[in-house]
Chains A and B, each alone.
Chain A
């Protein structure tokens, strides 16, 4: 029982950290640095988490995010898309269903769906395309029963490529939506 309580406390503390109020400042520099060290992976900056965090349980015993080493579809966080398309390909249905299932059984978990595009064309049009990809995953999860209040879909457009460089090999890795849990 005791480890569970510790873990729960840790979860609460991490949650508090994540919601630090940010000050308005003329120069962004001061506020762009996250409190925790950042780890660049696949072009996405993810906030560093204490080793115990992935298995942290809320007081009711639910998880805030899937364990880092989750097996199968729940271990996958990325959905890839065809050019100029926001349709979820058949091969990624299982990923979306696994995370929807996790969100339904873990009522404290919240998810941010981040849409991305390749670098071709207008940055703002790409931002809107990335938004549609994120929205597409959000809507699929909504249909599967995940409450809208626990999801936010946002877009990075072409600003955070998973792979740098030009050509279809790089581009297809960049047309994607990433599933990120709040607190990660």
Chain B
């Protein structure tokens, strides 16, 4: 099944001093979906003052997930705004299992109250009801929070609509490191360069981005504060400096340096300081990733003759253990927030694909069928993976559910690459 949802996303100026608004539109296309979708009616909130209708944002969120079937509401009149207005038999007849109603009430002083209620249509019972106070600028964020609540109530699993993503846009020979909402809205540029930028990595609290910039004609690791836009070089040693990864407590980073031997992993305090060597030997070691409990460092190494994923205890200095065995190329490890699943890139017959491994059983599954997948990262709810791929030679971002069923593609003019899903929704 292929359901293209063409969605030209308007952008509004983000009132942040460091941000450069990115004037471009992202297109989202959905491929696949759950075998059984939950039929859901979302009634327009119909806000005054020409505000965006949160119901439309919620509808777009939930449709994109591939888990819901949205029931047409336009042919119902009058549309219910309050609980007593809902005629449940009418919505049952339309096939809805659940209904969302809501409104946006002006409070004065540019502030609004957004109320919403979610009802079980079959039983006529309220499943959730919340009220949020916000400004027009905060309306989208509120809508995404409502999507998260509805998703969790109806599927039993947390949603991931409220988060942010970072990625690199290459356009006209320039590289822009951008941060955007998960739906591509509110994109703004935090760094722009004529040289490549790669490997953005979010700090655990989402306030800082580490990344690799080639602006000095060599790879250097920078850490940028997203609140005030200041940044500093965290690792600028002789040779190459790359592949930053934050420890779960945010106090240190793993980086790859070539100052002593070819591409070895080091640990370095987040505040800067002397790097402490973590891996040794003649092989190349790169792409470090911490386990969420902070006890293990996963990484890519060719110590066995081909690139494979290994892990080593952070403390105690135990010998690295090999984690991947299938195939001759397994790279780019990343751990799910619960630490149970490893996602990585697996090469099969010359194609680079997103794969996951259940770490308890060692069972693996390839999730994608594209050719050039790179840089997987988990959503904060652990249910979806964001990655980069190529389509017709052009870079775009894509997501896939961890069961492989639902996929989305996010594209815009220019090459999108190096995505990273922020670890917290704020």
Chain A interface residues (CB < 8 Å from chain B): 22, 24, 26-29, 31-33, 112, 120-125, 127-129, 131-132, 135, 152-157, 159-160, 166
Mark each residue of chain B from 82 to 120: 1 if its CB lies under 8 Å from any CB of chain A, else 0: 000000000000000000000000000000000000000
A32 touches B262 (CB 8 A): no
Q: Is B405 an interface residue (CB 8 A)?
A: no
Which B280-305 residues sit within 8 Å CB-CB of chain A? Answer: 284-287, 300
B231 touches A154 (CB 8 A): no
B193 touches A124 (CB 8 A): no
Counting from the closest, the 8 A-B pairs by CB-CB distance are: A26-B229, A159-B196, A154-B218, A128-B263, A28-B193, A128-B284, A122-B331, A128-B286
Q: Is B352 an interface residue (CB 8 A)?
A: yes
Residues in A with CB closer than 8 Å to B218 are: 112, 152, 154-155
Q: Is B38 an interface residue (CB 8 A)?
A: no
Expressed in whole angstroms, the minimum distance between the Cβ of B235 and any Cβ of chain A is 13
Chain B residue with the shortest CB-CB distance to A153: B239
A124 touches B224 (CB 8 A): no
Residue from the set A27, A123, A153 with the largest chain B CB neighbour count within 10 Å: A123
- Tell me the complex Cα distance, A35–B244, Å: 29
A24 touches B284 (CB 8 A): no
B332 touches A124 (CB 8 A): yes
Chain A residue with the shortest CB-CB distance to B170: A159
Assuming the A-B contacts A24-B232, A122-B345, are A127 and B18 also in contact, with contact meaning beta carbons closer than 8 angstroms in the complex?
no
Q: Is B253 an interface residue (CB 8 A)?
A: no
- Tell me the complex Cα distance, A67–B216, Å: 25
Expressed in whole angstroms, the minimum distance between the Cβ of B399 and any Cβ of chain A is 19
Q: Which listed residue (A31, A112, A125, A128) contacts B215, Cβ 8 A?
A: A31
Q: Is B181 an interface residue (CB 8 A)?
A: no
B193 touches A29 (CB 8 A): yes
- The count of A-to-B residue pairs whose CB atoms sit within 8 angstroms is 122
- Tell me the complex Cα distance, A86–B284, Å: 12
Assuming the A-B contacts A26-B231, A124-B243, A131-B258, are A32 and B287 also in contact, with contact meaning beta carbons closer than 8 angstroms in the complex?
no
Residues in A with CB closer than 8 Å to B287 are: 122, 124-125
Give the dominant DSSP class at B's interface: strand
B239 touches A127 (CB 8 A): no
B242 touches A127 (CB 8 A): yes
Residue from the set A26, A27, A28 with the largest chain B CB neighbour count within 10 Å: A28
Q: Which listed residue (A32, A125, A131, A166) contacts B194, Cβ 8 A?
A: A32
Mark each residue of chain B from 266 to 284: 1 if its CB lies under 8 Å from any CB of chain A, else 0: 0000000000000000001
Expressed in whole angstroms, the minimum distance between the Cβ of A53 and any Cβ of chain B is 18
Which B239-256 residues sit within 8 Å CB-CB of chain A? Answer: 239-240, 242-243, 256
Expressed in whole angstroms, the minimum distance between the Cβ of A49 and any Cβ of chain B is 15
- Tell me the complex Cα distance, A145–B403, Å: 57
Residues in B with CB closer than 8 Å to A121 are: 329, 331, 345, 347, 352, 374
A155 touches B240 (CB 8 A): yes
Assuming the A-B contacts A26-B231, A122-B287, are A128 and B262 also in contact, with contact meaning beta carbons closer than 8 angstroms in the complex?
yes
Chain B residue with the shortest CB-CB distance to A119: B372
Q: Is B66 an interface residue (CB 8 A)?
A: no
B238 touches A152 (CB 8 A): yes
25 A–B pairs (Cβ distance < 8 Å), ordered by A: A22-B216, A26-B224, A27-B18, A28-B191, A28-B213, A32-B193, A33-B194, A123-B375, A124-B242, A124-B256, A125-B286, A128-B242, A128-B262, A128-B285, A131-B262, A131-B263, A132-B284, A152-B239, A154-B217, A155-B218, A156-B196, A156-B214, A156-B219, A160-B196, A166-B393
A123 touches B224 (CB 8 A): no
